[in-house]
Protein backbone atom coordinates (compact mmCIF):
# COMPACT_ATOMS: atom_id res chain seq x y z
CA UNK A 1 0.00 0.00 0.00
CA UNK A 2 1.37 3.40 -0.94
CA UNK A 3 1.13 6.26 1.50
CA UNK A 4 0.48 9.89 0.60
CA UNK A 5 4.17 10.46 1.33
CA UNK A 6 5.27 7.74 -1.11
CA UNK A 7 2.96 8.82 -3.94
CA UNK A 8 3.81 12.50 -3.50
CA UNK A 9 7.55 11.83 -3.34
CA UNK A 10 7.39 9.63 -6.45
CA UNK A 11 5.77 12.51 -8.34
CA UNK A 12 8.01 15.25 -6.98
CA UNK A 13 5.27 16.81 -4.87
CA UNK A 14 6.52 18.24 -1.56
CA UNK A 15 4.63 17.13 1.55
CA UNK A 16 3.86 18.86 4.86
CA UNK A 17 3.03 17.31 8.23
CA UNK A 18 1.83 19.10 11.32
CA UNK A 19 -1.16 21.05 12.34
CA UNK A 20 -2.49 23.40 14.91
CA UNK A 21 -0.97 24.01 18.34
CA UNK A 22 -1.21 20.64 20.07
CA UNK A 23 -0.31 19.14 23.40
CA UNK A 24 2.40 16.50 23.44
CA UNK A 25 -0.28 13.84 22.89
CA UNK A 26 -1.04 15.27 19.44
CA UNK A 27 2.43 16.54 18.63
CA UNK A 28 4.21 13.24 19.19
CA UNK A 29 2.54 11.25 16.35
CA UNK A 30 3.40 14.04 13.88
CA UNK A 31 7.15 13.75 14.42
CA UNK A 32 7.90 10.39 12.76
CA UNK A 33 6.17 11.11 9.44
CA UNK A 34 7.47 14.71 9.43
CA UNK A 35 11.01 13.28 9.53
CA UNK A 36 10.52 11.30 6.28
CA UNK A 37 12.52 12.64 3.31
CA UNK A 38 9.48 13.76 1.29
CA UNK A 39 8.27 16.09 4.03
CA UNK A 40 10.10 19.18 2.84
CA UNK A 41 7.56 21.92 3.54
CA UNK A 42 7.69 23.71 6.90
CA UNK A 43 5.56 22.03 9.54
CA UNK A 44 3.80 23.40 12.59
CA UNK A 45 5.65 21.08 14.97
CA UNK A 46 7.67 23.04 17.50
CA UNK A 47 8.69 23.16 21.13
CA UNK A 48 5.92 22.85 23.72
CA UNK A 49 6.86 26.24 25.20
CA UNK A 50 5.89 27.97 21.96
CA UNK A 51 2.21 27.27 22.69
CA UNK A 52 1.95 26.25 26.34
CA UNK A 53 3.41 27.33 29.66
CA UNK A 54 2.97 23.68 30.70
CA UNK A 55 2.21 20.63 28.57
CA UNK A 56 0.45 17.45 29.72
CA UNK A 57 3.50 15.41 28.62
CA UNK A 58 7.19 15.98 29.16
CA UNK A 59 7.93 19.14 27.19
CA UNK A 60 9.13 18.93 23.60
CA UNK A 61 12.38 20.88 23.31
CA UNK A 62 14.08 21.97 20.09
CA UNK A 63 17.62 20.67 19.61
CA UNK A 64 19.57 22.57 16.95
CA UNK A 65 16.26 23.84 15.57
CA UNK A 66 14.63 20.39 15.34
CA UNK A 67 12.47 18.14 17.49
CA UNK A 68 13.95 14.66 17.92
CA UNK A 69 11.86 11.74 16.63
CA UNK A 70 10.69 9.71 19.61
CA UNK A 71 11.60 6.04 19.82
CA UNK A 72 9.47 4.84 22.76
CA UNK A 73 6.61 2.41 22.00
CA UNK A 74 3.18 3.66 20.97
CA UNK A 75 3.07 7.39 20.31
CA UNK A 76 6.31 7.83 22.26
CA UNK A 77 4.96 9.80 25.22
CA UNK A 78 2.66 9.35 28.17
CA UNK A 79 0.60 12.04 29.85
CA UNK A 80 1.95 13.34 33.15
CA UNK A 81 -0.74 12.26 35.65
CA UNK A 82 -0.57 15.41 37.80
CA UNK A 83 -0.71 17.78 34.81
CA UNK A 84 -3.51 15.78 33.21
CA UNK A 85 -5.50 15.87 36.46
CA UNK A 86 -5.06 19.66 36.78
CA UNK A 87 -6.14 20.38 33.20
CA UNK A 88 -9.06 17.93 33.08
CA UNK A 89 -12.39 19.76 33.15
CA UNK A 90 -14.78 16.80 32.76
CA UNK A 91 -14.75 13.04 32.40
CA UNK A 92 -17.21 10.92 30.46
CA UNK A 93 -17.41 7.16 30.10
CA UNK A 94 -17.87 6.39 26.43
CA UNK A 95 -18.15 2.66 26.82
CA UNK A 96 -18.89 0.79 29.99
CA UNK A 97 -17.92 -2.69 28.70
- Express each pLDDT in 17-35 by its tens digit: 776 778 888 888 888 888 8
- Number of domains the chain contains: 1
Binning pLDDT at 50, 70 and 90, where does residue 79 land?
Answer: very high
What global pTM score does this model have? 0.73
Whole-angstrom distance, CA of residue 23 vs CA of residue 60: 9
Closest by CA to 81, choosing from 65, 58, 61, is: 58
CATH of residue 6's domain is 3.20.20.120
Domain range for 36 is 1-88
Whole-angstrom distance, CA of residue 75 vs CA of residue 46: 17
In a domain, 10, yes or no: yes
Binning pLDDT at 50, 70 and 90, where does residue 53 land?
Answer: very high
In a domain, 95, yes or no: no
Average pLDDT, whole number, for the chain? 86
In a domain, 75, yes or no: yes
Is 1 a residue whose pLDDT tops 60?
Answer: no
In a domain, 96, yes or no: no
Instruction: Name 26's Cβ contacts closer than 8 Å, sequence gap at least 6.
Output: 19
In a domain, 56, yes or no: yes
In a domain, 11, yes or no: yes
Amino acid sequence: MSTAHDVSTAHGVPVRCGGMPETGIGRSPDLAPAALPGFTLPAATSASSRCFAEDITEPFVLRDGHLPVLTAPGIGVDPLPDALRRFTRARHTLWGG
